Structure 1
Amino acid sequence: MTDTFKALILEHTPDGPRAAIRPLKLDDLPAGEVLLRVHYSGLNYKDGMILQGQGNLVRDYPHVPGIDLAGTVLESADPRYRAGDPVVLTGYRVGETHWGGYAERARVQADWLVPLPAGYNARQAMAAGTAGFTAMLAIQALEDHGLQPDAGAILVTGASGGVGSIAVRLLAHLGYTVTAVTGRAENADYLHRLGASTILPRADLAEVPNKPLLRERWAGCVDTVGGDMLTHVLAGMGYGGSVAACGLAGGAQLKTTVLPFLLRGINLLGIDSVMCPTERRLATWKRLAALLPGHDLEAMTTEIGLDDLPHYGKQILAGRIRGRTVVCVGKQVSPEPGDNGTN
Structure 2
Amino acid sequence: MPETFNAFVVNKDDSGFNAGVQQLTLADLPDGDITVRVQYSSVNFKDGLACLPESPVVTSYPMVPGIDLAGTVVKSSNPRFSEGQEVLAIGQALGIAQFGGYAEYARLSSDWVEPLPEGLTLREAMALGTAGFTAGLAIQRLEDNGLQPGDGPVLVTGATGGVGSVAVNMLAGRGYEVAASTGKSSEHEYLQSLGASKILSREDVSGASDSPLEAELWAGAVDPVGADTTAYLLRTTRYGGSVATCGLTGGFAIATTVLPFILRGVNLLGIDSVQCPASLRAKVWRRLGSDLKPSALADSITNEIGLEEIPSVAGPILGGAVKGRTLVRI
> For structure 1, which runs of at least 5 residues remain unmatched after alignment?
330-343
Q: Pick closer, same or farther for the CA change 1:13–1:235 going to 2, 3 Å.
A: farther
Give the equivalent residue in structure 1 for 2:313.
312
Give the equivalent residue in structure 2 for 1:321.
322
Give the equivalent residue in structure 2 for 1:231.
231
Name the Cα RMSD after superposition.
Answer: 1.5
1:248 paired with 2:251, answer no
- The answer as to whether partners of 1:33 and 1:78 remain within 8 angstroms in 2 is yes
Equivalence map 1:115-194=2 (5 Å): 115-194=115-194
Give the equivalent residue in structure 2 for 1:303.
304
Q: Report the secondary structure of 1:284's partner residue.
A: helix
Q: Report the secondary structure of 1:193's partner residue.
A: helix
Equivalence map 1:72-91=2 (5 Å): 72-91=72-91
- The Cα of 1:100 is off from its aligned counterpart by 0.2
**Given the two structures, how large is their TM-score scaled by the length of structure 2?**
0.96
- The Cα of 1:56 is off from its aligned counterpart by 2.0
- Cα separation, 2, equivalents of 1:52 and 1:13: 14
Residue 313 of structure 1 aligns with an amino acid whose one-letter code is A
- The Cα of 1:67 is off from its aligned counterpart by 0.1
- The answer as to whether partners of 1:208 and 1:255 remain within 8 angstroms in 2 is no
- The Cα of 1:291 is off from its aligned counterpart by 2.7
Residue 327 of structure 2 aligns with an amino acid whose one-letter code is V
- Cα separation, 1, equivalents of 2:49 and 2:183: 20
- Cα separation, 1, equivalents of 2:165 and 2:329: 21
Tell me the alpha carbon deviations over residues 243-268 of structure 1, each in whole angstroms, 9 at most, x when there is no partner.
Answer: 00001111111111101111111000
Tell me the alpha carbon deviations over residues 93-148 of structure 1, each in whole angstroms, 9 at most, x when there is no partner.
Answer: 21111110000010000110000111211111100111111111101111111111
Q: Pick closer, same or farther for the CA change 1:236–1:54 going to 2, 3 Å.
A: farther
Give the equivalent residue in structure 1 for 2:278.
278
Q: Report the secondary structure of 1:31's partner residue.
A: coil
User: Which region of structure 1 is more displaced relative to structure 2, 82-91 or 53-62?
Assistant: 53-62
Residue 60 of structure 1 aligns with an amino acid whose one-letter code is S
Tell me the alpha carbon deviations over residues 147-179 of structure 1, each in whole angstroms, 9 at most, x when there is no partner.
Answer: 111111100000001110111011001111001
Q: Pick closer, same or farther for the CA change 1:55–1:213 going to 2, 3 Å.
A: farther
Equivalence map 1:44-59=2 (5 Å): 44-53=44-53, 56-59=56-59
User: Which region of structure 1 is more displaced relative to structure 2, 13-22 or 276-285?
Assistant: 13-22
Percent identity of equivalent pairs = 50
Q: Pick closer, same or farther for the CA change 1:147–1:293 going to 2, 3 Å.
A: closer
- Cα separation, 1, equivalents of 2:17 and 2:244: 33
- Cα separation, 2, equivalents of 1:179 and 1:293: 19
Runs of 4+ in 1 over 6 A off after TM superposition: none
Q: Pick closer, same or farther for the CA change 1:192–1:312 going to 2, 3 Å.
A: same
User: Which region of structure 1 is more displaced relative to structure 2, 206-215 or 18-27?
Assistant: 206-215
Give the equivalent residue in structure 2 for 1:104.
104
